[in-house]
Amino acid sequence: MKQLHKQSSVVNYRRDEENPPTTSTHPSTYPSKTQKQPRSLPRSINYLMKEQRLLFILVGILIASTFFFLQPTLSRLGPSEYISVEPIGVTNHHNVWNPSWSSANRQVGKVGRVPAGIQRRQLRIVVTGGAGFVGSHLVDKLLARGNNVIVIDNFFTGRKENAMHHFGNPRFELIRHDVVEPILLEVDQIYHLACPASPVHYKYNPIKTIKTNVVGTLNMLGLAKRIGARFLLTSTSEVYGDPLEHPQKETYWGNVNPIGVRSCYDEGKRTAETLTMDYHRGAGVEVRIARIFNTYGPRMCLDDGHVVSNFVSQALRKQPLTVYGNGKQTRSFQYVSDLVDGLVALMENEHVGPFNLGNPGEFTMLELAEVVKETIDSSATIEFNPNTEDDPHKRKPDISKAKELLNWEPKISLREGLPLMVTDFQKRILNDEEGGTLK
Ligand SMILES: NC(=O)c1ccc[n+]([C@@H]2O[C@H](COP(=O)([O-])OP(=O)(O)OC[C@H]3O[C@@H](n4cnc5c(N)ncnc54)[C@H](O)[C@@H]3O)[C@@H](O)[C@H]2O)c1
Give the domain ranges of the chain. 99-112+119-298+334-359+396-411
Give the ligand 1 atom nearest the CA of 135: 16
Residue 88 has pLDDT above 90, yes or no: no
Give residue 110's pLDDT: 39
Q: Where are the beta strands (DSSP E) in 206-360?
A: 230-236, 287-292, 295-296, 321-324, 330-332, 334-335, 355-357
Catalytic residue among 191, 265, 296, 335: 265
Is pLDDT larger for residue 428 or for residue 46?
428
Ligand 1 pocket test target in 136, 156, 205, 308 with most atoms within 8 Å of CB: 156
Q: How far does residue 387's CA lie from ligand 1's centre (Å)?
A: 24
Mean of pLDDT values over 285-298: 96
Q: 94 pLDDT exceeds 60?
A: no
Predicted local distance difference test score (pLDDT) of residue 67 = 66
Phi-psi region of 398 (alpha: psi -120 to 50; beta: other; left: phi over 0): beta
Please name the amino acid found at residue 144.
A
Q: How confident is the model at residue 7 (pLDDT cuts 50, 70, 90)?
A: very low
- Cα–Cα distance for residue pair 438/57, rounded to 1 Å: 67
Which atom belonging to ligand 1 lies closest to the Cα atom of 132?
A: 39
Short-list 251, 249, 234, CA closest to 395: 249
Please state, as a whole number, how many other Cβ atoms lie within 10 Å of the Cβ of residue 333. Answer: 25
| Residue 116 or residue 346, greater confidence | 346
- For the chain, the average pLDDT equals 81
Query: Which run of H or E residues covers position 125?
Result: strand 124-128
Residue 436's pLDDT band (cuts 50, 70, 90): low
| Predicted confidence band of residue 9 (pLDDT cuts 50, 70, 90) | very low
Task: Tell me how far apart the alpha carbons of residues 282 and 34 are, in angstroms, rounded to a whole number.
Answer: 59
Q: Within 6 Å (CB) of ligand 1, which residues are found?
A: 128-129, 131-135, 152-158, 178-180, 193-197, 201, 212, 216, 234, 236, 292, 294-295
Among the residue ranges 29-38, 89-98, 202-211, 225-234, the one predicted with the least confidence is: 89-98
Instruction: Tell me phi and psi for residue 390, to 5 degrees.
Output: 60, 25
Q: Which helix (H) or strand (E) holds 157?
A: none
Question: How far, in Å, is the centroid of ligand 1 from the Cα of 197?
Answer: 5
Helices and strands in the chain: count of H runs, count of E runs: 14, 13
Q: How many CB atoms lie within 10 A of CB 128?
A: 30
Sort 271 into a burial class: Cβ within 10 Å, 0-12 / 13-18 / 19+. middle
Best probe residue, ligand 1, of 150, 195, 201 (max atoms within 8 Å of C-beta): 195
Q: In angstroms, rounded to a whole number, what is the distance separating the alpha carbons of residues 380 and 247?
A: 31
Which residues make Cβ contacts (< 8 Å) with residue 182, sequence separation at least 6? Answer: 219, 222, 223
What pLDDT shows up at residue 239?
A: 95
pLDDT score at 69: 63
Ligand 1, atom 13: closest residue by C-alpha = 197
Can 265 be counted among the known catalytic residues? yes
Rounded CA separation 216/222 (Å): 10
432 versus 154: the higher-pLDDT residue is 154
Site to substitute for ligand 1 among 161, 183, 193, 414, most atoms within 8 A of C-beta = 193
DSSP state of 248: B
Confidence (pLDDT) at 434:
59
Residues with Cβ within 8 Å of 278's Cβ and at least 6 positions away in sequence, in order, are: none
CATH of domain 99-112+119-298+334-359+396-411: 3.40.50.720
Sequence-separated (6 or more) residues with CB below 8 Å from residue 355 = 250, 288, 289, 290, 291, 342, 346, 401, 402, 405, 406
Closest ligand 1 atom to Cα of 216: 31
Residue 61's pLDDT is 85
Q: Is the pLDDT of residue 83 over 80?
A: no
Categorize the per-residue pLDDT at 329 as very low, low, confident or very high, splitting at 50, 70 and 90.
confident
Distance 99 CA to ligand 1 centre (A): 29
| pLDDT on residue 71 | 59
Distance, in Å, from the CA atom of 28 to the CA atom of 48, rounded to the nearest integer, reads 25
Name the residue at shortest CA distance from atom 42 of ligand 1: 197
Q: Using the mean position of ligand 1's atoms as its centre, give its distance from the Cα of residue 234 in Å.
A: 9
d(CA 196, CA 132): 9
306 CA: nearest ligand 1 atom: 3
Looking at ligand 1, which atom is closest to the CA of residue 134?
A: 16
Given this model, what pLDDT does residue 360 score? 93
pLDDT at 91: 32
Contact by Cβ (8 Å): 191, 233:
no
Give the amino acid at 392: P
At 205, is the secondary structure helix, strand, or coil? coil
The rounded distance, in Å, linking the Cα atoms of 137 and 191 is 12
Tell me how far the alpha carbon of residue 218 lies from the centroid of ligand 1, in angstroms: 16
Quick one: which atom of ligand 1 is closest to the CA of 208?
Answer: 31
Q: How far does CA 243 lie from the centroid of its chain?
A: 30
Hey, which of 139, 155, 157, 276 would you mutate to test ligand 1's pocket, going by the most ligand atoms within 8 Å of its Cβ? 157
CA 256 vs. chain centroid, Å, equals 29
